[in-house]
């Protein structure tokens, strides 16, 4: 009897082929899924700006634009309000300190001057009258004191004579007592007159200085009013050029209102604005260079204004040596402001990509030039031509430096 043998279970050679084919299909599907998860943007290569990262010297400077301004500007404010009566000097004219530019009139100020003069005259009359009164009382008091003193001496002599006669019993007691009483009364009257005279002198010494002080104060006040009257003549505060004058004949000007300015032209300065990105690095006494027609003029940063407006802050620079001969107020110049020493660095040419990435990442072109991948980088200093690359790039690599706004959220750029 034949015995039927069961086939052994297990993998046969043909099974290995099936397994390999399945793994290949699975890997291809994984690659397809992974590739589809990367956002891609396709564009023509000619429409992009591509630059190469290089190793070289990094000059730590920035280029700024500045305008020429007078070394100093003195503003003219109206010390006194009034109506413009006469305009003597026009805008743009050269003036000397003290030159009258405008004449104002102020009726209320004229009335105040008349009132002050009237009050001063009354005060002077009062002082004069008081002095006359004190002088008269002083004369009368001294006359009364002299009379009382003479009378006292006379009665004293009569009393001493009667006292001697009374001791010798040559006169009656009544006559002696009468001379004694007259003498004592004269003493009391003399003391009263003396006290009154002393009081009058003391009152004169204390009252007259007070009155004179009041009079002097009124005279000073009137002098100040006269000075206010002189302020109706608007004068140039310094030598220079009348920059602008906001006043016309017949115009009413309020006290303290700004009506013009004097530009001091003994020297010039450069006023410039700088991006707030550099606010921590821009300090006083930095050096700069103004290049004009191939000739360089050295500058020094004199002042940094602390206020930031619209993402920029203001600085003033002054010439440290020669300046352009034909320099004029309002001219515009490009200036190279040195922030630090030159150093070896990895250099990335500047581009508008920075506006989209803030310098945190960039698209790096592959070796074949057919695609670019997004890569994180770290940028340090920058000047007008280059960024200093600290991390993320190597010398020789090429990157896209044009604007990225059209790329959206893409992480890979396919270059056609």
User: Among residues 161, 195, 223, which one ends one of the domains?
Assistant: 223
Element at 203 (helix H, strand E): helix 173-230
Q: In the β-sheet with 386-391, what is the strand arrangement from edge to edge? A: 54-58, 343-349, 386-391, 378-382
- Same domain for 198 and 296, yes or no, is no
Alpha carbon 205 to its chain's center: 52
Neighbours of 81 (CB within 10 A): 17
CATH number for the domain spanning 364: value is 2.40.420.20
Residue 7 or 416, more confident: 416
Q: Are 183 and 153 in contact (CB under 8 A)?
A: no
- Same domain for 128 and 197, yes or no, is yes
Residue 18 or 415, more confident: 415
Give me the pLDDT at residue 346, please: 92
- Same domain for 187 and 271, yes or no, is no
Map tokens 């564009």 to a residue.
Answer: 43
- Mean pLDDT (the chain) is 85
- Same domain for 290 and 208, yes or no, is no
Angle between helices 107-167 and 173-230 (to 10 degrees): 170
**Whether pLDDT at 35 is above 50:** no
Cα torsion angle, 285, 286, 287, 292, sign: negative
Q: Is residue 87 part of a domain?
A: no
pLDDT in tens, 15-34: 556 666 666 666 555 454 44
pLDDT in tens, 341-352: 888 999 999 898
Q: Which residues pair with 242 in a beta bridge?
A: 262
pLDDT band at 360 (very low <50, low <70, confident <90, very high): very high
What are the DSSP E strand ranges found in 230-257?
A: 233-235, 240-245, 252-253
Give me the pLDDT at residue 126, please: 77
Give me the pLDDT at residue 373, please: 93
- Same domain for 176 and 135, yes or no, is yes
Nearest to 282 by CA among 308, 313, 318: 313
User: Among residues 165, 197, 223, which one ends one of the domains?
Assistant: 223
Q: Is residue 247 part of a domain?
A: no
Domain total of the chain: 3
The separation between the first and the last C-alpha atoms of the chain, rounded to the nearest angstrom, is 78
- Same domain for 309 and 403, yes or no, is no
Nearest to 317 by CA among 54, 122, 128, 69: 69
Q: Is residue 242 part of a domain?
A: no
Nearest to 48 by CA among 394, 374, 363, 389: 363
- Same domain for 319 and 404, yes or no, is no
- Same domain for 327 and 357, yes or no, is no
Q: Are 102 and 247 in contact (CB under 8 A)?
A: yes
Q: Is residue 95 part of a domain?
A: no
Q: Is residue 408 part of a domain?
A: yes
Nearest to 145 by CA among 177, 189, 179: 189
Angle (CA) 30 31 34, round 5°? 85
- Same domain for 120 and 202, yes or no, is yes
**Whether pLDDT at 10 is above 80:** no
- Same domain for 322 and 369, yes or no, is no
Q: Is residue 94 part of a domain?
A: no
What are the DSSP E strand ranges found in 218-360?
A: 233-235, 240-245, 252-253, 258-275, 287-292, 295-309, 312-319, 332-338, 343-349
Residue 128 or 264, more confident: 264
Q: Is residue 386 part of a domain?
A: yes
CATH number for the domain spanning 310: value is 2.40.30.170
Residue 103 or 384, more confident: 103
Mean pLDDT of 129-138: 80
- Same domain for 370 and 334, yes or no, is no
- Same domain for 309 and 407, yes or no, is no
Boundaries of domain holding 374: 37-58+343-415
Cα separation of 266 and 71, whole Å? 7
Give me the pLDDT at residue 28, please: 55
User: Among residues 295, 318, 338, which one ends one of the domains?
Assistant: 338
Mean pLDDT of 4-23: 57
Q: Is residue 112 part of a domain?
A: yes
């Amino acid at each position: 009897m034949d015995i039927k043998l069961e086939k052994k279970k297990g993998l046969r050679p043909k099974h290995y082929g099936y397994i390999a084919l399945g793994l290949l299909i699975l890997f291809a599907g994984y690659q397809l899924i992974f590739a589809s998860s990367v956002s891609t943007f396709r564009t023509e290569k000619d429409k992009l700006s591509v630059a190469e990262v290089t190793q070289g010297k990094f000059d730590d400077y920035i280029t700024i634009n500045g305008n020429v301004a007078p070394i100093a500007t003195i503003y003219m404010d109206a010390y006194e309000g009034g109506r413009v009566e006469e305009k003597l000097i026009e805008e743009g004219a050269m003036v000397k300190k003290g030159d009258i530019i405008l004449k104002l009139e102020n009726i209320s100020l004229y009335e105040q001057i008349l009132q002050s003069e009237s009050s001063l005259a009354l005060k002077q009359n009062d002082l004069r009258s008081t002095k006359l009164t004190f002088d008269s009382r002083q004369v009368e008091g001294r006359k009364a004191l002299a009379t009382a003193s003479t009378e006292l001496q006379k009665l004293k002599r009569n009393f001493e004579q009667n006292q001697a006669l009374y001791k010798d019993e040559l006169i009656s007691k009544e006559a002696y007592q009468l001379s004694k009483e007259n003498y004592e009364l004269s003493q009391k009257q003399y003391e009263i007159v003396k006290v009154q005279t002393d009081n009058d002198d003391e009152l004169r010494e204390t009252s007259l200085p007070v009155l004179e002080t009041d009079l002097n104060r009124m005279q000073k006040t009137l002098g100040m009013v006269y000075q206010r009257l002189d302020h109706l003549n608007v004068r140039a505060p310094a030598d220079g050029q009348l920059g602008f004058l906001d006043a016309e004949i017949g115009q009413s000007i309020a006290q303290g209102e700004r009506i013009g300015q004097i530009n001091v032209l003994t020297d010039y300065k450069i006023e410039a604005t700088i991006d707030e990105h550099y606010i921590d690095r821009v300090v006083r006494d930095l050096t700069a260079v103004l290049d004009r027609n191939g000739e360089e003029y050295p500058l020094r940063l004199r002042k940094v204004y602390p206020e930031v407006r619209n993402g920029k802050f203001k600085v003033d620079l002054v010439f440290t040596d020669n300046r352009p001969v034909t320099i004029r107020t309002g001219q515009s110049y490009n200036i190279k402001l040195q922030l630090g020493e030159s150093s070896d660095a990895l250099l990335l040419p500047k581009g508008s990509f920075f506006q989209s990435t803030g310098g945190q990442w960039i698209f790096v072109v592959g070796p074949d030039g057919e695609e670019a991948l997004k890569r994180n980088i770290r940028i340090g200093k920058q000047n007008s031509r280059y960024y200093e690359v600290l991390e993320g790039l190597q010398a020789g690599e090429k990157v896209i430096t044009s604007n990225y706004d059209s790329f959206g959220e893409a992480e890979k750029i396919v270059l056609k």
